[in-house]
Structure 1
Amino acid sequence: MVRTIWENRRHPLYAFRILRKGVCDGCALGVAGFKDWTMDGVHLCTTRLNLLQVNTMDALDPRKLAVVDSLRELDGTALRKLGRLPYPMIRRRGDLGFRRISWDEALDLAAERIRAAKVTRASQASAGPDRFAFFLTARGITNETYYVAQKVARFLGTNNVDNAARICHAPSTGALKRAIGVAATTCDYRDVIESDLTVLFGADVANAQPVFMKYLYLAKKRGGKVAVVNPYREPGLERYWVPSNAESAMFGTMITDEFFPVNVGGDIAFLNGVLKVLIEENGVDDDFVTRHTDGWPELKAELAAQSIDDLARWSGSSAEDFRRFARMYAEAKSAVLVWSMGITQHVCGTDNVAAIINLALARGNVGRPGAGLMPIRGHSGVQGGAEMGCYATVLPGGVPIEAESAAALRAQYGFGIGAERGLSAAEMVEAGGRGELDVLWSVGGNFLDTLPEPAAVQQALERVPLRIHQDIIVSSQMLIDPSDAVLLLPATTRYEQ
């Protein structure tokens, strides 16, 4: 708290006003001011305090961007401390750094290049993707911004518009939609508090979603248990200091009851091993499975063909761990299964999520109090991106892009809407690497830090003739050398809009 006060000392009243009336800039918990809507009490997590400075920091000294080589050694925290981007800046090929330009110059350049990209696309002899794309981050973006961005992209004639959900919970969206018909969590934090068992798969909530720890603490106080399935034993999930509770804040609270190690990529084998044990030990809710699911006989047959020893070897766990988890799970009257990036950011991410869903359905842990499926998100605003249609594969309302839905939106908007899906975030980068993208407009985000193979990402972005980075602060991807030009545009915070 002392550090937060010091960091925001130049504008203390504004900072306090944000805390008192604003939302959390970090997590996706719907709070208003200090009030925690999940339970009686205060919401004031460390992530929220750490990000408060983004709203109160002074403008960046433009001379610090005059030579970018010296900035490439700085990490994200150090770059953020440089200050807010105050006005448009440009760096041309061969320039050492950025120089200030007017808004008219910046917008004219963007419009000129997008128009040229449309002409190039129209003149192509064969069908191909549009040659410009838009990407929006998830942290701090409002629903209104998402909505306008996707509408502008489609007005310009492209479905190449995507947001950060693509590289976090897109696999969850696909698996949940296919399995239960709705691409969303089936429960909320109150169910975690009421649950007999909360299982964390590939989720370091202590660091990524610290407010969640308060609800785990309350669940523990009620007698609930916490199990963790992860390659790494996260220290924050062992003992955590909940700041809103005096006893926990002083002495810490033991959070994890049982830890189950798995190999990276071993989650499906682990989940199948547990499910196999549940079947063998009559731990399946047969009535629920019969009445509410299909495909169960086929799944049983597939599991029967997999040996426990093979599953243990593939998972990096053991047959004894399968049994220990299965018995803990079967004894719980209700369970919430939680997962995050450790599950989704794999080539088999959708299958990972499907295996978790199978485990929940096998015990009927969907659609009742204290139970459910919870893909936990990390950024405020990320859910709104898909709902507003800021997605390469869906239109507003989460409607898939098809001929019928495109025609309906065309009638509403009054201009043409493409019926073909656009480029996803990763596909945008790949298209840039192949020389198939002329303009990339990125509102926040940082492909260099979030996508795998940063060297390949850098090489791909270096080939895009015009990169437009619209953000509050400097990020490492802005410092990648331009193919022709890199344009920096300042952005507003959600409280300035």
Structure 2
Amino acid sequence: MAGLASTLGNGTMTNDLVEFATDTDVFLLIGTNTSECHPIIAMQMQRGLERGAKMIVVDPKRTDMAKKADIFLQIPVGSNIKTLNTMMNVIISENLQDTEFIEKYAEGFEYLKEAVKDFTPERFERETGVKKELITEAARMYAKAGSAAICYTMGITQFSDGTSNVFSLSNLAIITGNLGKKGAGVNPLRGQNNVQGSCDMGALPNVIPAGAVNSAYAQEQARKVWHFELNPVPGFKLTYAPDKMDSGELKVLYVYGENPVMSDPWTEHFVHATHHLDCFIVQDLFFTESAQKADVVLPAAGWGEKDGTFINTSR
């Protein structure tokens, strides 16, 4: 969610998923196999398609959603930024951007224009094998839509450049004015149950439920509700953990409901770094790959065995 928090100010869907059925004119799905991973959301999209909405799917695999798409860009793995930059190149070259929206709400458009100028459809075809006419048509379809919704999942975020992928998605939505209206936006479909709820509750190194730890509002709420001064310096993120373990700064790692041995961007580095820990604890429902490396494995309670709240991906 770092990408959205940096570009749009909040790491969550900009729109409600029910709008997909009623208001979206064009869907841009990238790195998401929605019908299999998010069937309820796919149902809303299907209703939108039956209403007459169009769909663009960007994926290395011919997924079920790709079979429903009006345009399917079957790109090589790792070509996400190249694809999005090419779409922006077409949009800017053909003057399809929303100039009024950009002038009112955006910053740095000239820098973006310069950054994408070399990402031509011809270059895209040479480097990906996808026809230039297809990427051009996709860019036009997205830019000309009344309301175009971008949906993505971990298919583009679980990369070493995952944050940059999300930056590009945000830029695409911004230059076409697809923010702040029904059926549009940039919409991450969260990867596991209640991930959005966990983030909203502050289970991140840089936020509490009131917002970013270094914001004046969060500082005030911590004093008011919790009666203590909140440290304004964010903690380090999971991706920094291997280096912290290697250096000896991190001596004990407690992993709960996570499998970093498989899901960390650099799995070999993570596994090697765990050897430098004094103690590695894993608490999980299953004996995961991470649990197999742990010094201590603790049981966990499933969702039906405890009290709590669930917050879905669109809150």
Provide the TM-score with structure 2 as the length reference: 0.84
Unmatched segments (≥5 aa) in structure 1: 1-168, 240-254
CA distance in 1, matches of 2:105, 2:249: 47
Q: Please say which structure displays the higher CA radius of gyration.
A: 1
Q: What does 1:123-162 align with in structure 2 at a 5 Å threshold?
A: none
CA change 1:408–1:337 in 2 (3 A) is: closer
- Output one character per residue of 1:216-262: Cα deviation in whole Å (capped at 9) or x when no partner: 2111111112110122222x2245xxxxxxxxxxxxxxx22210122
Unmatched segments (≥5 aa) in structure 2: 308-315
CA distance in 1, matches of 2:28, 2:47: 15
CA distance in 1, matches of 2:135, 2:247: 45
Alignment match, 1:488 = 298
Give how far 1:321 is off: 2.3
Picking from 180, 187, 203, the partner of 2:15 is 187
CA distance in 1, matches of 2:229, 2:101: 46
**What amino acid maps onto 1:382 in structure 2?**
V
Does the alignment pair 1:227 with 2:37? Answer: no
Secondary structure of 1:294's match?
coil
CA change 1:326–1:307 in 2 (3 A) is: closer
Give how far 1:323 is off: 1.3
Give how far 1:308 is off: 4.2
Alignment match, 1:171 = 3
Cα RMSD after superposing both structures:
2.7
Give how far 1:442 is off: 1.9
Alignment match, 2:312 = none
CA change 1:413–1:218 in 2 (3 A) is: same
Higher relative contact order structure (alpha carbons within 8 Å, sequence separation ≥ 6): 1
Does the alignment pair 1:444 with 2:257? Answer: yes
CA distance in 2, matches of 1:342, 1:358: 19
Secondary structure of 2:18's match?
helix
Provide the TM-score with structure 1 as the length reference: 0.56
Alignment match, 2:210 = 397
Secondary structure of 2:8's match?
helix
Secondary structure of 2:56's match?
strand
CA distance in 2, matches of 1:188, 1:463: 45
Secondary structure of 1:199's match?
strand
CA change 1:338–1:478 in 2 (3 A) is: same
CA change 1:238–1:412 in 2 (3 A) is: closer
Give how far 1:312 is off: 4.2
Give how far 1:292 is off: 3.1
Alignment match, 1:83 = none
Picking from 309, 319, 322, the partner of 2:135 is 322
**What amino acid maps onto 1:197 in structure 2?**
V
**What amino acid maps onto 1:170 in structure 2?**
A
**What amino acid maps onto 1:317 in structure 2?**
V
Q: What does 1:89-108 align with in structure 2 at a 5 Å threshold?
A: none
C-alpha contact 1:191 1:336 (8 A) present in aligned 2: no
Does the alignment pair 1:198 with 2:11? Answer: no
Secondary structure of 1:426's match?
helix
Alignment match, 2:65 = 237
CA distance in 1, matches of 2:221, 2:101: 39
C-alpha contact 2:206 2:234 (8 A) present in aligned 1: yes
Q: How many residues align?
A: 306
